[in-house]
A and B are shown apart, each in its own frame.
Chain A
Amino acid sequence: EPEVTQTPSHQVTQMGQEVILRCVPISNHLYFYWYRQILGQKVEFLVSFYNNEISEKSEIFDDQFSVERPDGSNFTLKIRSTKLEDSAMYFCASSVGGYTEAFFGQGTRLTVV
């Protein structure tokens, strides 16, 4: 069964460093998303991506964040100058259409120390 895969599963980084979280969406999906979940809290929308550009982003998704689809399969989230409060589980998701169900990856746990 096709699935969304994310790497790495856990990333530890020092405050101020840049990290890149990687995702391989399901191959025939057209919409891609990043969400984050701070431990014990709700799942928060960061950004959606369609047709090689950002289609929506939340107020969390400021200049510190960027997304890219560098080739036909990968979808990345870059976080510049990480802060302690960026520590969270980051989920990538993809969907066939804009209103259809999204399939989530297993997540990358980012720990900023």
Chain B
Amino acid sequence: GDSVTQMEGPVTLSEEAFLTINCTYTATGYPSLFWYVQYPGEGLQLLLKATKADDKGSNKGFEATYRKETTSFHLEKGSVQVSDSAVYFCALSPNTGNQFYFGTGTSLTVIP
């Protein structure tokens, strides 16, 4: 079945460090891929998305490229800030059916 495997956390980085959170997926067909972010005490917010192979989603300095050959959608940011501290979820929506499959989430803490 469809699934998402996400890098285990927690991740702790110093401010201005480079961030990568790995995400790989298993799906039949051509799913849409998403990154959601959950700030402490809040709900899930869409961070970025990509709907087809080689698409790059970007928002707030974060980027992720839909790589069909490696079935990956890794999240990157060149210079993290303290305000980026949150839990990040990779998710996919298959092109059949209408639910989202979430990864386990990766907790990021950025220290000054």
Chain A residues packing against B (C-beta within 8 Å): 31, 33, 35, 41-45, 48, 50, 55-56, 58, 91, 93, 95, 98-107
Contact = CB atoms under 8 A, between A and B. Distances in A.
Given A33-B100, A101-B93, 4 more contacts: A43-B89, A55-B97, A101-B32, A106-B43
B82 interface: no
Contacts of A91: 43-44
Interface of B: 31-32, 34, 36, 42-46, 49, 51, 89, 93-95, 97-105
B75 to A, nearest CB: 15
A103 B98 contact: no
Contacts of B49: 101
A48 B98 CA distance: 7
A45 B46 contact: no
Contact of B45 (A43, A45, A95, A104): A104
B104 A42 contact: yes
Given A42-B104, A42-B105, A56-B99, A99 B43 contact: no
Main DSSP-derived SS at the A contact region? strand
B46 A101 contact: yes
B99 A33 contact: yes
Contact of B97 (A95, A98, A100, A107): A98
A57 B93 CA distance: 15
A74 B36 CA distance: 24
B97 A56 contact: yes
Contacts of B34: 101
B102 A42 contact: yes
Nearest to A97: B98
